[in-house]
Amino acid sequence: MLEERRVALVTGGAKRVGRAIVQTLAAARFDVAFTYLSSEDDAKSLARDVASRNAKALPIKADLTKPDEAVEIIFRQFSSHFNRLDLLVNNASMFVRADLAATDSTVLANAMAIHVTSPVLLIQKFAPLLRSARGHVVNMIDLLAERPWPAYLAHSSSKAALANATLSLARELAPEVTVNGIAPGVIDWPADMPAADREAYLKRVPLARAGTPDDAAKLVKFLATEGTYITGQILRLDGGRSIS
């Protein structure tokens, strides 16, 4: 009898870190659903790549700044293709540069919607499937949740809220489901970050390099396959930046 394949759902999966996570999971024999919003060409090319790895791919277009609507779209489309969920990765993010003077209610609302409300509502919606599969949740947080940058006020604050929710959800969903967070330092440089700022950042990283999307993807895979006695943890993926 053929073993039933595991299934993962990755938000914000079409580009950058999310794309690496989807590819790594597909190579590890997961079928993968992933969400995207405006990156349709990237989503299509990723679906082809996943199919080339003999895995099923399901791109789902959803706007996570509208959590109630997005969660229903995701759940409906996912359920029409899969009847189990082994791993939910809340990866979608909005990295908006806005200090206090530039922060308004829209910036705050969007950051909270993407980084807190949508992840929590997705976990709520998929909890029965996750429990049934004795599955895993991985929330992509950020080193800025612990060490905020004033120029990214809404981003840092909302990621801190996601970190707190991760701990609460780990208790609620135990013992059937593990819930962990990954707090990267720089693993994909912001496009608007000047070279001088990048050099200054790296001087404070003991491992003397930025991380990569593959570093994050490998850690997600570990938590979903090998690290099954780990829950309620925020794992720093920062080359040691948090200790320097």
Q: What is the mean pLDDT of the chain?
A: 94
What span, in angstroms and rounded, lies between the C-alpha atoms of 163 and 78? 26
Cβ atoms 177, 127 nearer than 8 A? yes
Alpha carbon distances (Å) from 189 to 186, 220, 224, 242: 6, 20, 26, 17
What DSSP letter does each residue of 105-157 carry, written as one string? Answer: HHHHHHHHIIIIIHHHHHHHHHHHHHHHHT-EEEEE--GGGTS--TTBHHHHH
| Whole-prediction pTM | 0.94
The predicted model gives 211-224 an average pLDDT of 97
Cβ atoms 133, 86 nearer than 8 A? yes
**Tally of structural domains, the chain:** 1
pLDDT band at 3 (very low <50, low <70, confident <90, very high): low
Domain of residue 108, residue span:
6-236
The pLDDT tens digits for 121-130 are: 999 999 999 9
In-domain check, residue 139: yes
In-domain check, residue 117: yes
The predicted model gives 74-79 an average pLDDT of 98
pLDDT at 144: 87
The pLDDT tens digits for 91-138 are: 999 988 889 999 999 999 999 999 999 999 999 999 999 999 999 999
What span, in angstroms and rounded, lies between the C-alpha atoms of 96 and 165? 21
In-domain check, residue 97: yes
> Which CATH number covers residue 11?
3.40.50.720
What span, in angstroms and rounded, lies between the C-alpha atoms of 13 and 33? 9
In-domain check, residue 242: no
In-domain check, residue 79: yes
In-domain check, residue 162: yes
pLDDT at 194: 83
In-domain check, residue 60: yes
What span, in angstroms and rounded, lies between the C-alpha atoms of 189 and 191? 6
The predicted model gives 63-87 an average pLDDT of 98
Q: In sequence order, which residues have a C-beta less than 8 Å from that of residue 219 and are 6 or more positions away? A: 182, 235, 237
Question: Computed from CA positions of residues 120, 182, 231, 218, in that sequence, does the dihedral angle turn out positive or negative?
Answer: positive
Q: Which of 159, 15, 12 lies closest to 88, judged by CA?
A: 12
Cβ atoms 90, 140 nearer than 8 A? yes
pLDDT at 214: 96
Is a pLDDT exceeding 50 seen at residue 1? no
- Phi/psi for 60 (5° steps) reads -130, 120
Tokens of 143: 């080193």
Tokens of 151: 């120029």
pLDDT at 201: 86
In-domain check, residue 1: no
Please state, for a pLDDT cut of 70, what percent of the chain lies above it: 99
Tokens of 18: 């999310």
